[in-house]
Chain A
């Protein structure tokens, strides 16, 4: 079965520091990969997606992610954290091996320290 692993359920960074949120997937076939962000009491908002085009994907709010097939990873980064980045981040996967379903990781809560 397809699965997504997000390492670190809680990540804290200082304002202005690099943000790195980790996501690994299990699939023998490169899937479609997504990062979503969820602010309190809201739904999920798409940050970026990988669908077998460029391996480095740029998203909204200065976020980007790199697809690394050899490492089965799709880590999310942002060079400089802002206070407004504090939220829950979810990695998701879909593709031929998922039966047309989206599978989400358990989420990483990002805290930005002023």
Chain B
């Protein structure tokens, strides 16, 4: 099976712009989670989608949003970009209805740089 894919791999944006990142989970996986990884804060959970519904949400402002399509592909959007949004954004998929008991499979990430 193909792994989790994320596009684009690298992105440079300017403050105030918005950005959309895409994630395609492993075939058959219905749970998709998003994380922000920065040197200072480590891995922080953004949100999780299951069957097109947001099931969990981390402690991020409303500028961060996401959605999941019927084929389980997911997108996340960040509006009004700030310098602090520069990070590696990781997507992870899980095969289980109850994601807690099953490992997550991570994509390679999208490196977002905000200037």
Q: Which residues of A contact B (CB under 8 A)?
A: 32, 34, 36, 41-46, 49, 51, 90, 94-96, 98-107
**6 further A-B pairs in the complex, CB-CB below 8 A; given A43-B109, A44-B92, A102-B104:** A44-B106, A94-B99, A104-B42, A104-B43, A105-B42, A107-B42
Binding site for A on B (CB under 8 A): 4, 33, 35, 42-43, 45, 48, 55-56, 58, 90, 92, 98-101, 103-109, 111
Report whether B90 and A100 are in contact in the complex, using a CB–CB cutoff of 8 Å: no
Q: Which of B90, B103, B106 has the most CB of A within 10 A?
A: B103
Chain A residues within 8 Å of B103, by CB: 34, 46, 49
* Residues on A with beta carbons closer than 8 Å to the beta carbon of B33: 102
By a CB distance below 8 angstroms, the chain A residues around B55 are 100
Which chain B residues lie closer than 8 Å to A104 at the CB level? 35, 42-43
